[in-house]
Amino acid sequence: MTTILCIRKGSEVVMAGDGQATLGEAVVFKSKSVKVRRIGNGNIIAGFAGAAADGITLIERLEAKLEKHANQLKRAAVELAKDWRMDKYLRQLQAYMIVADKDVSLVLNGTGEVMEPDDGIIGIGSGGNYAMAAAKALYDIEGLSLEDIAQKAMKIAGDIDIYTNHNVTIEKV
C-alpha cells in the first residue's frame, strides 16, 4: 500500500503521495514511485493507492472519461465508477483513487463508490488514516499553508506506517 492525502480549502487543493513501492513485505522502491499526478487539462489531480498497474490503468480510464465529458470531473468519476463496478476486467483492479479539481474532491473505489468528504480532507492507503488525522489536527493552525499541512501530515504517516516513506510528491490546483 501507500499513503495518498488530499486537502481542500475553498478552491485550493493539495494532494500528496509517498514514493515507496512494496511487493508483499519487501520494499521495492524507496523513492521512485509516483502515485500523484496531473491529468486531463492539467487542472485535475489524481492519486492512487494499491497495485501500481491497476492505479495507472484507472487513471488512464478516467482521462478517457474526462475527454468524453468535457473535463467535468464529477461526471467522469461517476462514469468510471460504474464501469469499474460492472466491467469484468475492471472489477479485478485492486486500487483506490482520489481525484480533485478546483470544485470537488472525490474518493473512488471498485464497489462503485464515489464519495466527497464533508471537511475537504481525504486519506487513502495503508497510512491514509494517519495522514488524514494529522491533517485534521493541523488544518486550522494559523500560518500553515496546505502544502505545509500535507508535508507534516505525510511525515507523521511515514513515521507510523511501514508502507509509507518520507519521499513525498505534492501537486496543487
Q: Which residue has the cell 480549502?
A: 9
Q: What is the span of the domain harbouring residue 38?
A: 3-161
Any domain includes 76: yes
Distance CA 1, CA 118 (A): 25
Any domain includes 173: no
Quickly state the pLDDT bin for 32 (edges 50, 70, 90): low
Any domain includes 142: yes
**Would you state the pLDDT for residue 29?**
61
Any domain includes 69: yes
Quickly state the pLDDT bin for 30 (edges 50, 70, 90): low
Q: Is the pLDDT of residue 89 over 80?
A: no
CATH number of 16's domain? 3.60.20.10
How many structural domains is the chain composed of? 1
CA angle 45, 96, 139 (to 5 degrees): 60
Any domain includes 169: no
Any domain includes 117: yes
pLDDT, tens digit (0-9, with 9 covering 90-100), for 103-145: 999 999 878 889 999 999 999 999 999 999 999 999 999 999 9
* CB 155 within 8 Å of CB 173: no
**Would you state the pLDDT for residue 163?**
87
* CB 173 within 8 Å of CB 12: yes
Active site residues: 2
**Would you state the pLDDT for residue 21?**
75
Any domain includes 167: no
**Is 0.85 topped by the overall pTM?**
yes
Cell numbers linked to 56: 495507472
Cα torsion 56, 57, 59, 64: sign: positive
Quickly state the pLDDT bin for 50 (edges 50, 70, 90): confident
